[in-house]
Amino acid sequence: MSLLDEFYANLGASSQVAFHEKFMPAQYRGKLYHYTSPVGLTSILFGDPKAMTLWASRCDAQNDSLEGKVAVDIYKKVCAEIDGAESIGLNTILPTRTLLMQSKVDGKIKTIRPECEDFICCFSKSPDSLPMWNYYAKGNAYEGYNIGVDIDKLKDSLLHNYQDLEVSSKIYPVIYDEVEQKNLVKSFMQAVLSKYDPKHDTSVRYAISNQLAMWRLLFKSKYFEHEKEVRVIISVAKGTSIKKPPMDIKYRANGMYIIPYIEMKIDKNCMTSIMFGPQQWNEKQKKNQTEIIKDVIWRNRYSVDVTHSEVPIRY
């Protein structure tokens, strides 16, 4: 048994994955909603006749300038509060950028640990959120839609489409509350340090670096808590000079920023509803647009509810 396997066995873990999962946010069970623009809606629903196509942007190109930094800051605060953590240099550990994956090497399936890029597709728990509609406000109009998604069907679709060689997927809710973030980190550190032995020092650092890599994608500033975000995270092995990445990485512009992204394909039956934003339309106009949307999605083999926002906004 390796020192690493011995370390995890001492923690009472059936596997590395099972141990780390205990310190992740609780799984969300409700419906999910993806807010998008009119152009985004047509691209998502009609860009591919066989599937819905959502964009997942690379984690370092999100709109939050603190993306990926909150977890490290919280971790350092917790290290300062735990006896002995700083004295053995645990406060200097940073998130790993590698991930255990399956790959075909010389015709055989083997476990590798490549450097990865993480791509994020954002959903909200909120079905009709004025702060989310505000992202699509143009003048007096709220030019946005949201797409309701069944989370269980989404998980099945991701499992089928993205548990491939050198690609993995997962879904977690974001944590905004600093107390909750610190409690998760503290409970993890206490579990790891309870079995600390100098001979396992490398294994301890490995475990912490792994956990930080997961938390950095899910710990966000409280200033974004109105988003009530749940994230689909697609991890893709990076390419090398002699090998392409397993998925096509594309690029788009947003203002002065170039954003790497991947096209995330999910089954059409994952969608449960479409809602259009709080437009300044009368009831006749709302009914007309509802019927048009119902017609176009039916022609593209979707079967979902179509509604409009109930937010009573005037301007």
Are 95 and 212 spatial neighbours (Cβ–Cβ below 8 Å)?
Answer: yes
DSSP symbols for 99-144: --EEEEETTEEEEE--BEEEEEEEEES-SS-HHHHGGGEETTEE--
Please, where are the H alpha helices in the chain?
3-10, 16-21, 38-46, 70-81, 130-133, 151-162, 178-193, 201-215, 283-299
What is the rounded CA–CA span in Å between residue 282 and residue 308?
A: 12
Are 251 and 260 spatial neighbours (Cβ–Cβ below 8 Å)?
Answer: yes
pLDDT value at position 267? 95
pLDDT value at position 216? 96
What is the residue-level pLDDT of the chain in tens, covering all 315 positions? Answer: 688 888 888 888 888 888 999 999 988 989 999 999 999 999 999 999 999 999 999 999 998 888 999 999 999 999 999 988 888 999 999 999 888 777 776 777 777 788 899 999 999 999 999 999 998 877 677 889 999 999 999 999 998 887 777 898 999 999 999 999 999 999 999 999 988 888 989 999 999 999 999 999 999 999 999 999 999 999 999 877 667 888 899 999 988 899 999 999 999 999 999 999 987 778 888 889 899 999 999 999 898 999 999 998 877
Find the Cα–Cα–Cα–Cα dihedral 259, 265, 271, 274, rounded to 10°: 40
pLDDT value at position 242? 67
Are 161 and 270 spatial neighbours (Cβ–Cβ below 8 Å)?
Answer: no
Contacts of 172 (CB under 8 A, 6+ apart): 24, 25, 27, 28, 217, 218, 230, 231, 233
Q: What global pTM score does this model have?
A: 0.92
Crossing angle (nearest 10°) for helices 201-215 and 70-81: 140
**Type of residue at 247:** M
CA-based R_g, the chain, Å: 22
pLDDT value at position 1? 66
What is the rounded CA–CA span in Å between residue 121 and residue 289?
A: 27
Query: Per the structure block, which two tokens stand in for 119?
Result: 């791509």
pLDDT value at position 14? 85
Q: In the chain, what is the straight-line distance between the N-terminal and C-terminal CA atoms, in Å?
A: 66
Find the Cα–Cα–Cα–Cα dihedral 162, 220, 71, 174, rounded to 10°: -40
pLDDT value at position 33? 97
Q: Which residue has the tokens 């912490």?
A: 208
pLDDT value at position 241? 65
